[in-house]
Structure 1
Amino acid sequence: MFESFYVHNVQIERTTKTTDTTKYPPVTTTNVSLTSLQAFMDTPATSEAVQYHQRNIKLTRFLYYPYGAADIRKTDIILFEGERYEVTGKPENQGGQNQVMRLPLNQL
């Protein structure tokens, strides 16, 4: 139903660290994985940006994506058109209909 709405291809960058304590000194390995997601990047309305600013949360974009299509964490970075965005809030199930998720982002 919403396939034509998700016109942007974004990348979800997830960094994980693993520490091997079987060696001395312990060795920490950092892994970065990228996952593609068809989504829609939108600029918030001025009133939405003001509401977030009043809560001391920076907001420059909203990411809309299909319900259940991604497990985006607070520590993930969203890559879109050469820009990097941090996650600034929890994913919101739009209207509680289990169709569209909205995620607030801030450009780094």
Structure 2
Amino acid sequence: MYDEFPHAVRFQSVQRVPDGGGGFTNTFVPYTTIYGFLDTPTSNERYQAHQLSNPLDRYLYYPYRNDITSAMRVVCEGEVYELGGKPEDQGGQHEIMRVALKLVQNG
């Protein structure tokens, strides 16, 4: 499994917390850590994504699960990514998921 999914990936979810002034603020908190594979899209895929104003920096592949949502973010190797959409079940076999990632903070 570590050959196929060599990267430790931390998912974070959004949580509303009191801001101390009577209101609330959103903050990211740890959700889960899994092993996945971060892949770099081709230059053509990146170009097409940028033309649609939907930047694409990486693809993340990971074992099938249905609890990951597009509202989460990913931390891997010191970099922070937003999910670029809903994770997709590759081939519909409930084996491997894929989601596009957009870099938001460089490590």
TM-score with structure 2 setting the length: 0.79
Gaps of 5+ in 2: none
Gaps of 5+ in 1: 20-24
In the alignment, structure 1 residue 100 sits paired with structure 2 residue 96? yes
In the alignment, structure 1 residue 67 sits paired with structure 2 residue 64? yes
Q: Which moved more, 1:59-68 or 1:40-49?
A: 40-49
CA-atom RMSD in angstroms:
2.1
Q: Which has the larger radius of gyration?
A: 1
Q: Distance in 2 between matches of 1:59 and 1:51?
A: 9
Alignment length (residue pairs): 100
Q: Is the 8 A contact 2:13 2:31 kept in 1?
A: yes
Q: Which of residues 75, 79, 91 is equivalent to 1:79?
A: 75
Q: Deviations over 1:7-43 (max 9, x none)?
A: 1001001121167xxxxx8564766224101100110
TM-score with structure 1 setting the length: 0.78
The percent identity for this pair of structures is 38
Q: Distance in 1 between matches of 2:23 and 2:47?
A: 45
Question: What pairs with 1:46-65 in structure 2 (closer than 5 Å)?
Answer: 46-65=43-62
Q: Deviations over 1:68-100 (max 9, x none)?
A: 1x6222221100111100111111111222211
Give the ranges of 4+ consecutive aligned residues of structure 1 lying more than 3 Å apart after TM superposition.
25-31
> Shift of the alpha carbon at 1:53?
2.3
